[in-house]
Amino acid sequence: MKISEVQAVLGTLPLGAFVMDEELNVVWSNHYFDTQFFLKEYKKTNVASFNFIESEESMIDLFSKAFHAPKPWSQEHFCEMSCGKHYHCNISVHELDEVHVLVYLQRSVDVIEQCDDLLKTTRYDHVTSLVNRSYFLELLGEKLLEHNKNKSSLSLLVLDFDSLDDYDVLFTSTDDETIFIELKNKIQEVVGDAQLFGRMSTSKFAIVYEDIVSTVEVEKIAEEIIYLFSEPILVKGHLSYVELTIGVSLYPVDTGNARMLLHKAEHSAAAMQNIEPNSYSFAHKLPEQNVENVLQISTDLPSAIEKEEIYFMFQPQYCHETQRFCGAELLARWEHPELGFISPEVFIPLAEQTGMIRAVTMKAFIEAAKLFKEIEAVGIKNFSLSVNISPSVLLYGDFLEDLKFFMENYEMIGKPLYLEVTENDLARNISKMIEILEEVRAMGILIEMDDYGTGYTSLQYLSKLPIDTLKIDKSFVRDIDTNKHQAVLFKAICEMSLALGYDIVAEGVETKGENLIVASHKKVRVQGYYYARPLLKKPFLELIQKKLQ
């Protein structure tokens, strides 16, 4: 056999092979030998330099003997692989021509399994044994290349069990991971023809279907999965309900890039969490967004809270009766070190989608507690603070317990703290909201309905809601001094609210004329640029100590 033939046959096989001459020079070696038995920088020109074989003989003695011995010649030795582990190998030498021999180094079967295990830890999730994120992306990339050649399509589904994201890992107990194995087993029931099934993160799984590409077929699969999880799963002997959302991306419709295809499906799944749990959404049906930025913002959110990149500004409320500032709304702002100012309209919905809104809200509570102390320290009394609260926070199972902890441990009992809920959020799940808000009020916290007039709360419901204050939306305040219809509407809302026993805040007061009209209505507090824009703490504290005419 010629060396060129050896190269062709053994070049890519998963066993070590090299050719040496009588001088013990290595004249050729295959890729496996180079990478598995040698560190990159190691010179492998002569067997004298080999140090991976554990033998009492020198390498020169061992291979000289092998070169001149009758062929085939073989011996068993322990070898140190480049991964640092020691494996049992069979070294066999075969004659090539008069001046060259071929040497094979082959691990025994159990050893190969050990190496496979090593490979598994880098490619497979250790809990579910599914392919992990990086290997999934590698395989998906290969599939996209094939589909690009064949001009065919594929579908990617991401199953996001968001409620499990806060799952802490207690290493003392293996039971904690049981739920993820149960989820995998359950999903496997419908995976069927899927060509690729992996675990992307703690609570996210991804499935690729290569033969199912029509949206109708994909919808059918998504509905089947959601139906499957409408029943509880058995974990540690207990039946547990889990919520999930599914995001779908399609190749080539959404993108031709594996990473982006996965990101788009993940983004779609996350976007549905706040809108409708246990539902699915297609990436191409979501409004166009800068996905890369959205991903960076989502990733950076948790650390932004801790690093105080997310901070609070305070918009004062003025009270005509006392001619003083009498309250303020806390408004979250984010100054990102790379992306600059990120609008709350961007990061609040993302925080809601990722569950981080609970941490943002808790930070707002802590900030309010601190501010109450500072306000008292400058001698101001009867000053209220309002914290915006998202329905996803209110509806979260532990919210009331967390709120109680805050009230009791941050000296908040008896403080005029408002929770602001928008009218639309209240209307969305009204009976549950009433139940929770009543418990919130029982803790001595006041409730404000934000954006009043823009939602769909019927007057019948309005009288039943456990609220203390209505904040009239700025669209009803604008031009009340110049537009008769606006003025009539504003007056009617004020009279009705007062008759129902609610306090009133007029939002968005920007001009002297608007302020004069609002001032003519008793008991109406004013919030708007006419008095102050949202301020940082220092100027805010300076302003509220002034008495304005």
Partner 1 sequence: MTKRILIIDDVEYILEFEEKVIESIKSEADFSIVIDKASTILDAKELVDLNTYALIISDMNLPDGSGTEIAKYATSKDESTRVAALTIYPQRYEKERAYFDAFFKKPILPSVFKENLRLLLGI
- Whole-angstrom Cα distance, residue 84 to residue 78? 12
**264 contributes a contact to partner 1 by CB under 8 A:** no
User: Does residue number 305 form part of the binding site for partner 1 (CB under 8 A)?
Assistant: yes
Beta bridge partners of 527: 507
Distance CA 87, CA 64 (A): 23
Q: Does 306 bind partner 1 (CB under 8 A)?
A: yes
Would you say 148 or 303 has its CB closer to partner 1?
A: 303
Residues 397-456 that bind partner 1 (CB under 8 A): 398, 401-402, 405-406, 408-410
Largest interatomic CA distance in the chain:
113
Cβ distance to partner 1 smaller for residue 363 or 474: 363
At residue 208, φ and ψ (nearest 5 deg) are -115, 130
Taking the alpha carbons of 182, 187, 189, 191 in that order, is the dihedral positive or negative? Answer: negative
DSSP state string for 347-401: HHHHHHHHTTHHHHHHHHHHHHHHHHHHHHHTT--S-EEEEE--HHHHTSTTHHH
149 or 171: CB nearest partner 1: 171
Quick one: which of 9, 275, 366, 536 contacts partner 1 (CB under 8 A)?
366
**Is the CB of 341 or the CB of 405 nearer to partner 1?**
405
User: By the 8 A CB rule, do 258 and 230 touch?
Assistant: no
Give the C-alpha separation, 122 to 101, whole Å: 36
Q: Which is nearer to partner 1, 303 or 545 (CB)?
A: 303
The minimum distance between CB 357 and partner 1, in angstroms, equals 11
> What's the closest the beta carbon of residue 315 comes to partner 1, in angstroms?
22
Q: Would you say 307 or 522 has its CB closer to partner 1?
A: 307
Selected from 277, 302, 455, 534, the binder of partner 1 by CB under 8 A is: 302
193 or 306: whose CB is closer to partner 1?
306
374 binds partner 1 (CB under 8 A): no
**Binding of partner 1 by 359 (CB under 8 A):** yes
Q: Which helix (H) or strand (E) holds 545?
A: none
Among 201, 279, 424, 429, which residue interacts with partner 1 (rule: CB under 8 A)? Answer: 201
Instruction: Check: CB of residue 108 under 8 Å from CB of residue 92.
Output: no
- Residue partners of 267: CB distance under 8 A and separation at least 6: 247, 283, 286, 289, 291, 294, 295
Find the radius of gyration of the CA atoms of the chain.
Answer: 34
Q: Does 292 bind partner 1 (CB under 8 A)?
A: no
The residue (of 207 and 305) whose beta carbon lies closer to partner 1 is 305
Helix 258-275 × helix 291-306 angle, to 10°: 60
- The 107-146 contact track toward partner 1, x by CB under 8 A, reads ----------------------------------------
Q: Which of 139, 235, 286, 362 binds partner 1 (CB under 8 A)?
A: 362
Q: CA 100, CA 2: separation in Å to the nearest integer?
A: 10
Binding of residue 358 to partner 1 (CB under 8 A): yes
Number of residues that bind partner 1 (CB under 8 A): 27
In angstroms, what is the minimal distance from the CB of 166 to partner 1?
Answer: 6
9 binds partner 1, rule: CB under 8 A: no
N-term to C-term CA, the chain = 104
Q: Are 299 and 281 in contact (CB under 8 A)?
A: no
Please state the closest distance from residue 388 (CB atom) to partner 1, in A: 18
Residues within window 153-172 making contact with partner 1, judged by CB under 8 A? 166-172
Q: Would you tell me which residues interact with partner 1 (CB under 8 A)? A: 166-172, 201-202, 302-303, 305-306, 356, 358-359, 362-363, 366, 398, 401-402, 405-406, 408-410
